[in-house]
């Protein structure tokens, strides 16, 4: 059963990340992709979690935490893509508010047995975040910003994801590409074209895509 849960989780993460294949997507587009991914698998999760409560099964608890962490990473990159680096000081606050809103809407529609209208809800949430972000300039964040991620830490996470989710030839190819990526990055003058080619090659596997998107952003921040 845990393998089935893992498969469903991976599918939701992959669907949520499909938005990154679009050029300049809006916040509403991001939200709609995630809502539709959850709607597609909501009945499975409702039944599964009723039969196997996470608090009674450590393995399921661990899997749910992994998915929550992965979606949280997607949400952070979503805000960076939509609003740019200016939201860095407020990222923790925005992420908490966004995830709280999404959770409460899911609960409301489940309790009241109402159908979710992804387009309507996504634009409602996005419009309110747009208005809020416009008012942030000059204000102090409520929560301290999270510690900046280090490129070496992202490399380590990618290696773990490849090890845990790929097998055979695909795993070998991705490990080799990752090593080439590390070697190129650590050069005195990294070749940007080479880095971009390796990133694009590795992105064909959706489960490591979000970490690669983080790398792209951090490379840009370092002027590479």
What tens digit of pLDDT does each residue of 148-185 get?
Answer: 788 999 999 999 999 988 899 999 999 999 999 999 99
pLDDT of residue 4: 66
The arithmetic mean of pLDDT across residues 190-216, rounded, is 89
CA 93 – CA 96 distance, rounded (Å): 5
pLDDT of residue 5: 65
16-39 residue pLDDT tens: 666 666 666 789 988 988 888 777
The arithmetic mean of pLDDT across residues 206-222, rounded, is 86
139: buried, middle or exposed (CB in 10 Å: 19+, 13-18, 0-12)?
exposed
128-154 residue pLDDT tens: 999 999 999 888 999 877 777 889 999
Check pLDDT > 80 for residue 84: yes
The arithmetic mean of pLDDT across residues 71-90, rounded, is 89
CA 83 – CA 85 distance, rounded (Å): 7
Most confident range (mean pLDDT) of 69-83, 98-112, 166-180, 201-215 is 166-180
Decide: 37 and 12 in contact? Cβ < 8 Å.
yes
Check pLDDT > 70 for residue 105: yes
pLDDT of residue 23: 65
Alpha carbon 203 to its chain centroid, in Å, reads: 14
pLDDT of residue 194: 94
CA 167 – CA 10 distance, rounded (Å): 16
DSSP 8-state class, residue 223 = T
Check pLDDT > 70 for residue 216: yes
* Residue carrying the six token digits 């989780």: 9
* Number of neighbouring beta carbons within 10 Å of residue 144: 10
């Amino acid at each position: 059963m845990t393998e089935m849960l893992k498969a469903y989780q991976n599918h939701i993460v992959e669907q949520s990340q499909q938005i990154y294949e679009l050029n300049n997507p809006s916040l509403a587009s991001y939200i709609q992709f995630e809502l539709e991914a959850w709607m597609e698998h909501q009945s499975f999760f409702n039944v599964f979690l009723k039969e196997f409560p996470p608090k009674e099964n450590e393995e399921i608890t661990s899997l749910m935490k992994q998915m929550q962490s992965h979606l949280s990473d997607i949400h952070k990159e979503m805000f960076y893509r939509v609003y740019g680096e200016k939201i860095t000081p407020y990222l923790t606050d925005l992420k908490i508010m966004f995830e709280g809103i999404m959770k409460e809407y899911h609960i409301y529609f489940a309790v009241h047995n109402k159908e979710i209208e992804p387009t309507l809800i996504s634009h409602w949430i996005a419009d309110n975040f747009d208005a809020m972000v416009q008012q942030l300039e000059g204000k102090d964040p409520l929560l301290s910003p999270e510690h900046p991620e280090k490129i070496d830490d992202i490399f380590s996470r990618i290696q773990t994801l490849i090890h845990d989710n790929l097998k055979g030839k695909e795993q070998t190819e991705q490990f080799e590409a990752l090593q080439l990526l590390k070697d190129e990055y650590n050069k005195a003058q990294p070749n940007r074209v080479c880095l971009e080619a390796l990133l694009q090659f590795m992105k064909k596997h959706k489960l490591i895509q979000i970490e690669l998107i983080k790398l792209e952003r951090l490379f840009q921040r370092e002027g590479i």
